[in-house]
């Protein structure tokens, strides 16, 4: 696989892969990032995997730029053939209602389809989580069907409710906390995605999210269960059984 290096500073370098949204490329980036941490690579103090880059922070008193490059080269060569075919799918309930999805009609019109067809399209794909960022628990995922890949709003909203599900070009994602944002909102999940008192996330980079359409009544019922600590997301291992 083609890639190159860029020295960001005395103690940081970036591994740059082809600029694309590609699942296999991103899986390799995440695998190399995990190995650098799990195998306690000498001098490595942090890694930041992204869509097509891997930033590595290191202590220049413990390793050098060139020594670290040699180690990363070796990891890439060995990891490229070690990628797991296992698929972890987190099923997330979403209510696609105009109350929760103010951009439903605009996205449907953009795609020249009905709102029902839009909901079916958006919920019929398992979305790979390429990276986490922007907000705690915000997952950058892709790719949505091409005809519904509507660009961001020209003027972002000042306030978006937690759990809102949106589209930004080929990407889709959920706002885990209240935030400004410019994504096209088409629904909302009743599940609390991030809790500052218990910040362990329900999903991670490398997982897949499957949106499950629910009614408004189901939304409020699940929200009550979730607030009471009685709701558990369904997690599916591809080729295996769910945790229901």
**Got the DSSP string for 56-93?**
EEE-TTT--HHHHHHHHHHHHHHHTT------EEEEEE
Question: How many angstroms separate the Cα of 208 from the Cα of each of 28, 90, 129, 130?
Answer: 16, 6, 6, 9
Question: How many angstroms separate the Cα of 162 from the Cα of each of 119, 151, 200?
Answer: 20, 21, 17
* Cβ atoms within 10 Å of 175's Cβ, excluding its own: 25
Here the tokens at position 115 are 């709102």
Kindly list the averaged pLDDT for each block of 10 residues, start to end, along the chain of length 244: 91 95 91 93 94 95 94 88 79 97 98 98 96 89 95 96 97 96 97 90 93 98 96 85 46
Residues 6 or more apart whose Cβ sits within 8 Å of residue 196:
136
- State how beta strands 184-188 and 88-94 pair: unpaired
- Report the first-to-last Cα separation within the chain, whole angstroms: 39
From the list 21, 93, 97, the residue with the least C-alpha distance to 52 is 21
Structure confidence by residue, pLDDT tens digits, 172-229? 999 999 999 999 999 999 999 999 888 889 999 999 999 999 999 999 999 999 999 9
Q: How many residues does the chain have?
A: 244
pTM summary value: 0.87
Report the C-alpha gap between 184 and 138 in whole angstroms. Answer: 15
Here the tokens at position 205 are 């980079």
Report the C-alpha gap between 192 and 158 in whole angstroms. Answer: 20
Here the tokens at position 38 are 């799990």
* Cβ atoms within 10 Å of 244's Cβ, excluding its own: 8
Which pLDDT belongs to residue 136?
87
């Amino acid at each position: 696989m083609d890639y190159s290096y860029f020295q960001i500073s005395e103690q940081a370098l970036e591994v740059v892969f082809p600029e694309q949204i590609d699942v296999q490329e991103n899986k390799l980036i995440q695998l190399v990032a995990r190995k650098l941490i799990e195998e306690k690579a000498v001098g490595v103090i942090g890694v930041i995997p992204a869509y097509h880059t891997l930033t590595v922070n290191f202590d220049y008193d413990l390793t050098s730029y060139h020594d670290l490059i040699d180690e990363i080269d070796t990891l890439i060569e060995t990891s490229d053939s070690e990628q797991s075919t296992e698929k972890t799918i987190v099923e997330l309930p979403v209510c696609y209602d105009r109350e929760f999805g103010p951009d439903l009609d605009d996205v449907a019109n953009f795609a020249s389809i009905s709102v029902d067809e839009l909901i079916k399209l958006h919920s019929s794909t398992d979305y790979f989580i390429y990276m986490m960022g922007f907000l705690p628990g915000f997952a950058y995922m892709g790719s949505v069907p091409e005809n519904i890949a509507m660009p961001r709003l020209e003027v972002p909203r000042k306030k978006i409710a937690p759990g809102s599900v949106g589209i930004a070009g080929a990407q889709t994602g959920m706002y885990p906390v209240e935030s400004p944002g410019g994504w096209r909102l088409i629904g909302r999940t009743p599940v609390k995605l991030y809790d500052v008192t218990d910040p362990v996330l329900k999903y991670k980079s490398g997982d897949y999210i499957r949106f499950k359409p629910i009614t408004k009544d189901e939304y409020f019922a699940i929200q009550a269960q979730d607030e009471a600590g009685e709701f558990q997301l369904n997690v599916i291992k591809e080729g295996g059984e769910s945790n229901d």
